[in-house]
Structure 1
Amino acid sequence: MKNNNLKYITIFTISGLSFVLGAFVMKAVDRTPITVPIVLEAQKISNFNFSPAQADSMLNYLDARSKDYQELRALKMPNSVVPSLTFNPIPQGFVPQDKTNGFVLAKTAPVKLPANKDDLAFYTVRQLGELLRTKQVTSVELTRFFIERLKKYNTRLLFVITLTEEYAMKRAAKADAEIKSGHYRGILHGIPYGVKDLLAQKDYKTTFGAVPFKDQQLNTDATVITKLEEAGAVMVAKLTLGELAQGDVWFGGQTKNPWDITRGSSGSSAGPASAVSAGCLPFAIGSETLGSIVSPSTECGDTGLRPSFGRISKYGAMALSWSMDKLGPITRSVEDCAIVFNTIHGVDPKDLSTIPASFNYNGNGKDLKGWKIGYLKASFTNRSLNYKNDSITLNKLKELGAELIPLEMPKIPATAVGLMLDAEAGAAFQDLLLNHREDGMVLQGKNAWPNTFRWAQFIPATEYINASRARTLLVQEWYEQLKGLDIYVAPSFSSNLRLTNLTGNPCVVLPNGFNQRGRPTSITFMGQLFGEGKLLQAAGIYQNATDFHTKHPALNF
């Protein structure tokens, strides 16, 4: 993996297009139709060789993007607005919620080994950690148990790319020896886990879920994996992701939802969400750029944490968008998210985008009295969303003592700002186009990455920079609107999802009921920037007042 600064510079490989493509874009503004011949002529500037069919697939998107450019220009930003070229989400005047570090877990009753060991499948990390600490079970036994479940259910759910069995059993034996000798490292010591297969581990392939990379082996360990190994956790599997972090379809098929195997698990953290939901792993590491923890966690009924941008090192992870990628845990409970996050967050000299910030968590809260919690009013009154369960969530927050305060979305056009993701992704995987390797990917539709990568080559550098400047305004405006609030809540699938992936705010997605078909629904608890402490506390209090996270699929297949 290259230094982050060097990787970021590759974004501007498209800049050579801007002086010519300005006229190309203006044609769309003047409503002159963008045609296949125009695209085929324009591509010569950057030495591409798209087919007429590929060019035709781009036309709708090129036309739509020209409208986004107009929205950005209409902002008439003054020269003083700076672009976020090396993205730092900290707004002017920022005051963090957490002033000091602290990590206090809730008191827990003694945990006993169940009479039926199959019940261990749905124990939390905290519970399994207690069994290991008190030597009621060994890491070797637990690791073997979860490996066997992964093998059993993978045939139908398709959530594993590579089992790291030999490596895991050695790690588990080492954990047992350390615990036996009194060298107990903490709650994660001896706990099996899996990672989305965009995180490098030098002993195994890192496939990105995509045909062009299915034999790739990177000679490095991702910082997140290193931190978990130092805590004594045991990696047992590299898990599926939709190819190049989009959706749930990878080169081996479609990862399924354990609640309904006629459906995909959603993505792109498809394997982590499915495996945890099915009781095949206690926790897994996923990633999010634009919904890839929130969406599969919702589909599969998990609890997932998408941290603030810059909280967790991305060293050793596939880059899709240098200014939007984030890594985070997918678990059974909010408390488990806090446990894993406490282990993997922090500044990393190998990732210059990491930002120092305190994390102060106390899991002993019983109610939300005195808390000021915002809610996106328009989203909660939109009956096309999950209106019933989301409304019940608001009522539960009131019962717990919270003061609810309505919020409005900012006026800056987040969708237009989002072109930054497409430009960065198009730069990150430009080499696929130059070598025509994108043709080997499974999905080739208009909404799939190959087509996005193609038309991203026609985003002028000037428009990328202006989108970045608008993002600076967006970050500042949202910070000002959230002042005085402890947290806020939002439906999981609303405009808030794009907004907060751009601003860098953290969220916890957790189950809040079931729909008419018996599948899980979710709600997102949103935090202030670097406010994971209060965010996890509030989400935990709500979750402990409900039982949705204790439900699990029947797995009758």
Structure 2
Amino acid sequence: MKHLRATLFTLSLLFPLLAVAQKFDSVKYMEPFLDLSLTDAQRDSLRDGLYANQERIRAIHQYGLPNEVPPAQVFMPMFYSEIQGTQEVIDWKLPQNISLPKNRDELAFYNVAELASLIRSQKITSVELTRLFIDRLKKFGDTLECVVTLTEERAMQQAAAADAEIAAGKYRGPLHGIPYGLKDLFSVEGYETTWGAMPYKDQRLEMTATVVEKLDAAGAVLVAKLTLGALAMGDVWFGGVTRNPWNLNQGSSGSSAGSASAVAAGLVPFAIGTETLGSIVSPSTRCGTTGLRPTFGRVSRHGGMALSWSMDKVGPIARSARDCALVFDVIRGADGKDPSIVEAPFNYKANVDIKSLRIGYLAEDFSQVRGNRTNDSLALAAIRSLGIELHEVKLPSDIPVYPLTVILASEASAAFDALTRSGLDTLMVRQDKGAWPNYFRTSRFIPAADYINANRIRTNLIREMNAIMEDYDVVIAPSFGGQLVLTNLTGHPCLVMPNGFNNNGSPTSISFIGKMMGEASLIALGEAFQAATDHDDRHPAMFVP
């Protein structure tokens, strides 16, 4: 009798819960998250369709998509602006009569143009130079936690081949024999491509990325695959936290963390980075390097990890604006593998009359606390001292820019759909709410209709930004704030460079925004600014020979 009473008591508790469960409506529960309000009849009508979609989605999941397969829709923002001009022969006017320093280790902080002069005149061999940088990578790589894989054997073979060709009179151009580092987001046949993340740390993709093939063809020498924040976020990777060479207690920011850190510390003359929403600008700012984020569709991403097919961009990180131009000229252009690439001229000219450029600046943004206001003011003053009249410019203000990042969220969750559903995302180092595992899961609840409508709003944003840029060759901006998100969405190019130091001794930066395909004007202004200041000539003391 006691057991019967206990059973009846348990049932008396369960029956109300069962009644609540029967009344629970999962569709109604989700409506607030989708900004919907349906009637009972509408909910009842759509249930069969939801179950049908569920089966279709399961079939899609079962198909199995590798990361490198792009969507059928191709984002091409430059179609909203006119591409003009034909490619001219570039006269780089590289420095002549560069002398070797008594202490060869000082070459670690020579720029690409200076090293190119030394190699072409055969004052130093590529083998010697490559050995110098490999030794520095071995000496300081662990300190900075910036190296994933040394490509020493490949590098020494490339360097020896470069020396033989140069000795025989076959000079391929300014990058011939120059060592460089590669963000480990790109595949190189015969080496792991880890994407900085534990689930992929042993991954081998038996292909070589287009950007590497183009650098190979130019005679450049790959010495290391460098760290990136896991799956292109931040500076935390499976092996640690990549460090800022100016302050080892601070991360180098990301996601091109190793690329910026290694260049700043003199471990490589230049490196390849990528940017989706700040991944060249942010680490270049933190580490005091010069970075070029080209126009979307300028540099092939084939062989690189896809995060956002309509926002990923590839660019160089180096010591100067001219170095960025030297590298960009090699890596740009179509390859028949990345459908987003559009051919357009890059007519760099040395010693441009800067006064011929029309230059604006984001006065309102500079008036707000975004970065270091003192350094920003000094940078603007330095530019005005060149005889340049700066015109106040305002960015589009009637478009909800930050909400459009649902585009990145949607594409990123699709790119790593299999990782999310496999549960292997639990292997990643970062597991906080702002990290990729939670971000990917959250983003799966963005409706497809809203992803498409966000892209339609993006069309208007591109048109409005192009209308503003019709009047200017360059717009000067604080490196962070609204313009960073906006221009990454529109695909406009950006050159970021150091403009001083903060109170903690870490570098600060300023950014130049250009027209679609307007990288040449950015480089021209960047060279003039760097010639008038010494920010790019300063290096972190503990790494200077």
Q: Within 1, Cα distance between the matches of 2:401 and 2:313?
A: 18
Is the CA contact 2:370–2:481 (under 8 Å) kept in the aligned structure 1? no
Structure 1 counterpart of 2:217, one-letter code: E
In structure 1, the partner of 2:30 is 24
2: CA distance, partners of 1:144 / 1:417: 46
Shift of 1:118: 1.1
| 1:97–1:530 contact (8 Å) kept in structure 2 | no
Pick from 405, 409, 414 the counterpart of residue 427 of structure 1.
414
Say if 2:162 and 2:176, in contact at 8 Å, map to a contact too: yes
In the alignment, what sits opposite 2:473? 486
Q: Which AA in structure 2 matches 1:331?
A: A
- Separation in 2 of the partners of 1:43 and 1:302? 53
Letter in 2 for 1:402: I
Given the two structures, how large is their TM-score scaled by the length of structure 2? 0.87
1:224–1:313 contact (8 Å) kept in structure 2: yes
* Aligned residues of 1:412 and 1:474 also touching (Cα < 8 A): yes
User: Does the CA-based 8 Å contact 1:91-1:479 persist in structure 2?
Assistant: no
- Residue 213 in 1 paired to residue 219 in 2? no
Q: Write the letter of the residue equivalent to 2:446.
A: I
CA distance in 1: counterparts of 2:316 and 2:242, whole angstroms = 18
| Cα deviation digits, residues 468-505 of structure 1 (max 9, x gap) | 10000000011111212111110001110000000000
In 2, the alpha carbon distance for the partners of 1:178 and 1:499 equals 45
Q: Does 1:395 align with 2:381?
A: yes
Matched, 1:346 2:333: yes
Tell me how far 1:95 sits from its aligned partner: 2.9
Secondary structure at 2:411's aligned position in 1? Answer: helix
- CA-CA distance at 1:384 after TM superposition: 4.6
Aligned AA for 1:212?
Answer: P
Residue 296 in structure 1 maps to residue 283 in structure 2 = yes
Matched, 1:182 2:162: no
- What is the TM-score when the length of structure 1 is the normalising length? 0.85
SS at match of 2:524: helix
Q: What is the match of residue 86 of structure 1? A: 74
- 1:453 is aligned to 440
Q: Deviations over 1:159-211 (max 9, x none)?
A: 00000011111111111111111111111111111100010101101000001
- Which structure exhibits the higher relative contact order, with contacts defined as CA atoms closer than 8 Å and separated by 6 or more residues? 1
Mapping 1:456-467, distance limit 5 Å: 456-467=443-454
Report the more deviating stretch, 98-107 or 428-437: 98-107
Q: What is the alpha-carbon distance in structure 2 between the residues aligned to residue 31 and residue 111 of structure 1?
A: 71
- The Cα offsets for residues 310-333 of structure 1, whole Å up to 9 and x where unpaired, read as 000000000000000001000001
- Opposite residue 193 of structure 1, the aligned amino acid is Y
Partner residue of 1:404? Answer: 390
Match for residue 148 of structure 1?
A: 135
SS of residue matched to 2:77:
coil
Structure 1 residue 371: Cα displacement: 2.4
Deviates more, 1:229-238 or 1:537-546: 537-546
Over 3 Å counting, the alpha-carbon distance change for 1:252 and 1:43 in structure 2 is farther
For the pair 1:278 / 2:265, whether they are aligned, the reply is: yes
2:66 is matched with which residue? none
Aligned length: 491
Give the aligned CA root-mean-square deviation in angstroms: 2.1
Distance in 2, matches of 1:354 and 1:99, equals 17
Paired position in structure 1 for 2:61: none
In the TM superposition, residue 108 of structure 1 has moved relative to its aligned partner by: 2.3
Amino acid at match of 2:30: F
Of the three residues 156, 163, 166, the one matched with 2:150 is 163
Structure ID, larger Rg = 2
Residue 471, structure 1, aligned to residue 458, structure 2: yes
Which digits, 9 at most, give the CA deviation of each residue in 1:427-459, with x for residues without a partner? Answer: 000101111010000000011011110011100
Q: Give the Å deviation of 1:31.
A: 11
CA distance in 1, matches of 2:425, 2:182: 24
Where do residues 183-262 of structure 1 align in structure 2 (5 Å cutoff)? 183-262=170-249
AA in 1 matched with 2:75: F
Report Cα offsets for 1:42-94 as digits up to 9, x if no partner.
999869xxxxxxxxxxxxxxxxxxxxxxxxxxxxxxxxxxxx952111254x2
Higher mean displacement: 396-405 or 419-428? 396-405
Structure 2, unaligned runs of 5 or more: 1-25, 39-49, 56-71
**Alpha-carbon contact 1:105-1:364 (below 8 Å) kept:** no
Q: Do the aligned partners of residues 403 and 22 (structure 1) sit closer, same or farther apart at CA in structure 2, a change above 3 Å counting?
A: farther
Counterpart AA for 2:109: F
Work out whether residues 168 and 236 of structure 1, in 8 Å CA contact, stay in contact via their aligned partners in 2. Answer: yes
Cα distance, 1:475–1:113 mapped onto 2, change above 3 Å: same
2:524 paired residue number: 537
Task: Tell me by how many angstroms 1:21 deviates.
Answer: 7.0
